[in-house]
Each structure stands twice: as C-alpha cells, then as structure tokens.
DNA sequence: TCGCACATGTAACGTGTTACATGATTCA
DNA sequence: TGAATCATGTAACACGTTACATGTGCGA
C-alpha cells in the first residue's frame, strides 16, 4: 500500500466541508471568503487546484448537477476513501508539539467534530488539548525565568523579549481556558443527554 | 525609485537579529532553533537563502571574520538601507486587518521594539493593537449571534461552529488583555523614567 | 582516530499568492 | 444593454520543506 502524502490543512478544510454537505467549487470558495475559514487562504488559485488534488487522490468525486438550471455546475461529494481518511485525521492523536506548533490544524479538526457527533471523543480531544497547553505553559514560564537571568542580553532587549514571551503565555492560557470551558459543555451533555 | 517587494517575516526576523548584533548565518540558525522565533521556520534551507536575498537587496553586508580562529566565518551587519527599512517596518501603521490576519507579524515587530527604545512609540503600537482587537472582537461576537440564528446549519454543526468561534474570541480577548497590561508597564516607565 | 558540533550551503518539490482569463446569467 | 455576480479556472512566481552534501576543528 502506497503511503500518500497527507493532505494540507486547506485540503482537509475542503474535504470536511464537502463531507458535511456536497458542494461545488464556487460554494466552497464562498464559505472561505465569508467565514473564519478564510484564514486557510481563499482565492481560486489555491482552492481549485486543491479540489483537483483531492479528486486525483480519489478522496472526492464530482458530479454534474443540471437539475437546477441550464448552467451545470460540478458538485463534489466525498468517496468512501475520503470519508475514511477524514475521520482518521479527526481522531488522530494529539502531541504536545501539535499544540505548540499546529494549533490552527487542531482547531480546524475540532470545528469538524460535529461529523463524529460524539461527546466522549470531543471530551478526550479537549482533554489532550488542555494537557498540551499545560505542558507548553510550563515550558514558556521556564523560558521566561531563563530570560530574566541571562545577562548577555541587554536589559532593554530583555524587557521587550519578556513581554513577547508574555504574549505567548497569555495565548496558551486562553487556549487552556477555552478547552476547559468547552469540556464542561460536554460534561453537561453526557450527564443529561438529549 | 524602484519599489522592491517587502521582505518576508523570516527576512525581517533575520534583519532584526542582525540589527541587534552582527551575526553569522550559523548563529542566526541557532537562535531560530532554540527560541520562540523558531515559529518562523528554521532549517538551513530557508535561512541561508533568506540571508542571501537580504544581501542581494543590499540590506545587509557580510564580512569575513578571521580574528577568532583559523576557521573564518561570515558575519553579517545591516547596511544603512537595511537599518532604515527595518525601522520603517517597525513603526508602520497597524490596520485592523493586520490584527486579524497578521498577528504573528505584529508580534514579531514588537519583539524588536527594543531597537527603538522609546516608550511612547511602544505605547501607541500597543494602543493600536488593543483597538484592533476590540474591532475584531466586536466582529466575532456578531458572527456568533448570526451563527445562533442561522437555521440552515444543522444544530450539531452549529454547536461545534460556535465553540470554534469562541476560541477565536478567547484568543482575541487574550491579545487585548496582553496589550493593555503591557501598556501599563510603559505608563509607569514614562511617569517615572529611569 | 572516531564522532560530534561547527559552518555553510544546494536541489527537488509542493503549495500558496497574485493576477489574469473566460463566458454565462441576472437584474436594473 | 451594461454591470454585477455566477462559475471555473490558468500561469508565473516566490517561498518554505525536506533531504542531502561537504568540509573543518576539537575533544575523548
């Protein structure tokens, strides 16, 4: 079995949207333009080639829809392989490094957890996230004290350097706070299922 | 006068480090490996070409240093043009869009504000940042209510979508909080100068 | 003398960005 | 009938990633 390169974030975002509901390239572009997903690029120059790649890899299939009007448009739906890969991506384990360097990917994943629709899986995802945040926080705080002790750095530079680190610390705290708050929502859901 | 393409974040990061103190390519790589700057890539494959680009653009100059040992190494220092461009980049105005989409660049800039070493400039930078954060926060909260009212979205998807938005909201709040907290440090400094 | 850290790169590759191209349909 | 929007792209280009290449000096 040939191990294909894992798709990019943009490709996964597209695959996820198509997984939620079959869409045309134009529909997808619209979503990227109008919503927060736009952070994963936009512009046809990125999206159309990405769609084509997904099709070439056999993860999605396009079908001409001519029911609505005279102008046909190509509507994409995930293949079985596409669904499988996407779910695998969703539930794949979270490393501390993911939390440090690939937060955007993690959040993208979580945004599609509606597909799994399982509070337990969501909970364990959030738990890993908050643990990862903890680890990074510890690391950042350590770096901060090292910074404070390092006499090689001119004190002005150290002053600004510390402040920049503080930003990272605030961001990480925000991540942890969000994860914990979200966990509570699922706790409630599990205790009192609909 | 030919308008050159503005350097990338990586190039500015390198230029800034060289501005703080002349360094060799290897020294720079080390810094990227060991510190939080690593988020702007690392790997020689990115750094060495970027250094070369800066040199070609006339922003830095390399000089062979053979004083220390038999093995010579090339130490880079900024040219006058390089210093000028870097300072211009530092103090350039902040748009709301910068705060939304280019936070990393803004933070990179701020990390080098030690070069300016002027509390007033730092203060106005932070003020713009916190105002930008305010604007984005307003936008995000609006999106959240739209999300809540939109009946086209299945309620499970809406549930997760809202949570993802909440993360953005938390991050933006963290940014604002950090900016305000930092502003106070400069206020103190201005009131009681060293 | 073996291996590691120092020191500086290059080559292939993929992907995103910017900008342009094209034609159909709808609405004023 | 002209403009805007629907709808789908392509081409050139720059940049970063991964992986490889090459040689020196130093300590065990």
Q: Which residue has the tokens 């203060």?
A: B123
Cβ of A163 under 8 Å from any chain B Cβ? yes
Q: Which nucleotide is nearest to B69 (CA to C1')?
A: D25
- Residue B47 CB-density burial (10 A; 0-12 exposed, 13-18 middle, 19+ buried): buried
**Chain B contact probe: residue of A122, A163, A166 with most B CBs at under 10 A:** A163
Whether residue A133 has pLDDT greater than 50: yes
Give the pLDDT confidence of A169-182 residue by residue, as tens digits: 999 999 999 999 99
Low-confidence ranges of chain B (pLDDT < 70): 1-3, 66-72, 193-194
- Beta bridge partners, A63, equal A75
Q: Is B156 in contact with A39 (Cβ distance < 8 A)?
A: no
Q: Is B114 in contact with A159 (Cβ distance < 8 A)?
A: yes
Cβ of B156 under 8 Å from any chain A Cβ? yes
For residues B190 and A183, the model is more confident at A183
Mean pLDDT of A179-191: 92
Mean pLDDT of A94-101: 92
Q: Given 3-state DSSP classes, what are the helix, strand and coil percentages for chain B, each rounded to the nearest 5?
A: 70, 5, 20
Partners of B185 on chain A (C-beta within 8 Å) are: 163
- Beta bridge partners, B60, equal B78
Q: Is A167 in contact with B107 (Cβ distance < 8 A)?
A: yes
**Chain A contact probe: residue of B126, B163, B177 with most A CBs at under 10 A:** B163
The overall pTM is greater than 0.85: yes
Residue nearest D20 (alpha carbon to C1'): B45
Q: Is A170 in contact with B161 (Cβ distance < 8 A)?
A: no
- Which pLDDT score, from 0 to 100, does residue B36 have? 85
* CB A111, CB B164: distance < 8 Å: yes
- Which pLDDT score, from 0 to 100, does residue A177 have? 98
Mean pLDDT of A68-77: 74
- Which pLDDT score, from 0 to 100, does residue A1 have? 46
Protein-covered nucleotides on strand D (Cβ within 7 A): 6-12, 14-21, 24-26
Q: Is A163 in contact with B174 (Cβ distance < 8 A)?
A: no
Q: Minimal Cα distance from B147: which residue of A?
A: A35
* CB B116, CB B122: distance < 8 Å: yes
Cβ of B43 under 8 Å from any chain A Cβ? no
Instruction: State which residues between 70 and 129 of chain B bring their CB within 7 Å of strand C.
Output: 71, 73-74
- Which pLDDT score, from 0 to 100, does residue A172 have? 97
Q: Minimal Cα distance from A146: which residue of B?
A: B35
For residues A35 and A20, the model is more confident at A20
Q: Is A111 in contact with B39 (Cβ distance < 8 A)?
A: no
- Which pLDDT score, from 0 to 100, does residue B149 have? 82
Q: Which is nearest to A145 in space by CA: A175, A169, A117? A: A169
* CB A30, CB A42: distance < 8 Å: no
Half-sphere CA count of A11, side-chain side, radius 13 A: 20
- Which pLDDT score, from 0 to 100, does residue B1 have? 46
- Which pLDDT score, from 0 to 100, does residue B67 have? 59
Angle B119-B121-B127 (CA atoms, 0-180°, nearest 5)?
Answer: 100
Q: Is B165 in contact with A117 (Cβ distance < 8 A)?
A: no
Q: Given 3-state DSSP classes, what are the helix, strand and coil percentages for chain A, each rounded to the nearest 5?
A: 70, 5, 20
Whether residue A30 has pLDDT greater than 50: yes
Cβ of A107 under 8 Å from any chain B Cβ? yes
A71 CB inside 7 Å of strand C: yes
- Which pLDDT score, from 0 to 100, does residue A179 have? 98
Average pLDDT, chain A: 90
Q: Which nucleotide is nearest to A47 (CA to C1')?
A: C16
């Amino acid at each position: 079995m040939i191990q294909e390169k894992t798709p990019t974030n943009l490709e996964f975002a597209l695959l996820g949207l198509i997984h939620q509901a079959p869409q045309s390239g134009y529909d997808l572009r619209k979503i990227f333009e109008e919503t927060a997903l736009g952070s994963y690029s936009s512009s046809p120059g990125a999206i159309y080639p990405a769609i084509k790649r997904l099709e070439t890899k056999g993860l999605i299939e396009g079908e001409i829809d001519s029911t609505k009007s005279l102008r046909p448009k190509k509507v994409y739906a995930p293949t079985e392989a596409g669904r499988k890969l996407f779910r695998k991506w969703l539930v794949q384990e979270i490393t501390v490094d993911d939390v440090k360097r690939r937060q955007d990917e993690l959040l993208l994943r979580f945004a599609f957890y509606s597909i799994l629709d399982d509070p337990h899986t969501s909970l364990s995802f959030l738990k890993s996230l908050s643990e990862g945040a903890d680890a990074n926080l510890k690391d950042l705080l350590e770096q901060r004290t090292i910074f404070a002790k390092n006499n090689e750095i001119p004190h002005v530079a150290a002053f600004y350097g510390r402040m920049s680190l503080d930003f990272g610390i605030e961001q990480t705290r925000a991540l942890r706070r969000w994860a914990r708050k979200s966990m509570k929502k699922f706790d409630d859901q599990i205790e009192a299922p609909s």
